Structure formats: structure tokens, C-alpha cells
Amino acid sequence: MSDKKQEIAWGSRDSKKDVETGEKLAPKFDANGLIPVVTTDYDTGEVVMQAFMNEEALKKTLEIGEAVYWSRSRSELWHKGATSGFTQKVIEMRVDCDQDCIWIRVRTKGGANCHVGYRSCFYRSVSLGPEVPAEQLGALQLSENDKVFDPNEVYGSGPVK
């Protein structure tokens, strides 16, 4: 990878106006140096995962146009798909009003985003609302019927995430 990313300079966060109306990305990283990232499928709109980037991951993502996260469990840069082949091409990136969250819209090679084998990590829905009996609140139902891949074939039996 080149050092093109080294040239990226963030915008100003000096005022609320700068942050909400500025013309250059001015991301706010939290106390751990991370910013949350929401990843949706560009074509279906489905939320496929939520993860975090640190400053280096965000700069690499901007540079190469593929999703690079920070793995909190492994404490390392995580170029999504490096192991599984399911890389995420970033078609569009958005930032929110106070610039403390990133939204990326991706097309994923192979169509699977979750290590469990599903298209999306959010493969279960949750019962809620005033019409639901109290004992049923929080019950989970599968929203995806078929796995895209068998995790054992792709990752072997080792720990993944």
C-alpha cells in the first residue's frame, strides 16, 4: 500500500458550524481512538454489520475504497475479506451531523458479510411493542433462512470474527 493516505488531512472541529457544515471530513474518535461504522449493502439497503475504525483504518478505507476496520478483539487492522475473500467495495461513504459515526454502502464479493455464514450479521429479529405479551418481549426469530457459506469450509475450525 502506498503512503497516499499520509496526505489526508482532516477538517476543523473548532466549532459546531465547522462540524455540521464543513467541506472536509473531520471525524471524532472516541476515548479509545475509534469511530463506529455502519455498513449496509448498496443494492438492498440491508445493514450487514457494525464495526469500528481507528484513524489508520479510516485513512486506508478512503485510500483503497475497500472497507478496512479496526478489530477490537485482535487489536489489529482488519481488511475485511482478507481471510474469507468477502471484501467490501465501498460504493459510497457518508458521515453524520456531528461526525462521530461513518456509514458505508458496500458491494461484498460473494455476498456474505457475517462469520456465521449469513448475508448479514443481523440475521435475527426481536419481538417488541405494546401488542406483544411481556413474556415474549425480546424473543428472537431467524430472518435469513439460508447461509451463504459454511464457516467451517471457509475458516477451518479456528476461532473467527
Contact assessment for residue 158 and residue 128, using Cβ atoms and an 8 Å cutoff: no
- Contact characters 2-21, its own copies, x per CB under 8 A: --xx-xxxxx--------x-
Residues 6+ apart with CB under 8 A from 80: 66, 67, 68, 69, 86, 87, 88
Of 66, 93, 63, the closest CA to residue 80 belongs to 66
Tell me which residues in 70-89 interact with its own copies (CB under 8 A): none
Contact assessment for residue 87 and residue 109, using Cβ atoms and an 8 Å cutoff: yes
Burial of 83 (0-12, 13-18, 19+ CB in 10 A): middle
- Residue 45 binds its own copies (CB under 8 A): yes
Q: How many residues bind its own copies (CB under 8 A)?
A: 59
- Residue 29 binds its own copies (CB under 8 A): no
**Residue choice 116, 148, 154, 155 for contact with its own copies (CB under 8 A):** 116
- Residue 135 binds its own copies (CB under 8 A): yes
**Residue choice 14, 56, 76, 98 for contact with its own copies (CB under 8 A):** 98
Q: From CA 88, how far away is CA 92, in angstroms rounded?
A: 11
Q: Is 54 or 61 the residue whose CB approaches its own copies more closely?
A: 61
Q: Give me the residues that bind its own copies (CB under 8 A), please.
A: 4-5, 7-11, 20, 22-25, 36, 38, 40, 44-47, 49-50, 61-65, 90, 92-98, 101-103, 114-116, 118, 121-126, 128-131, 134-135, 137-140, 143, 161
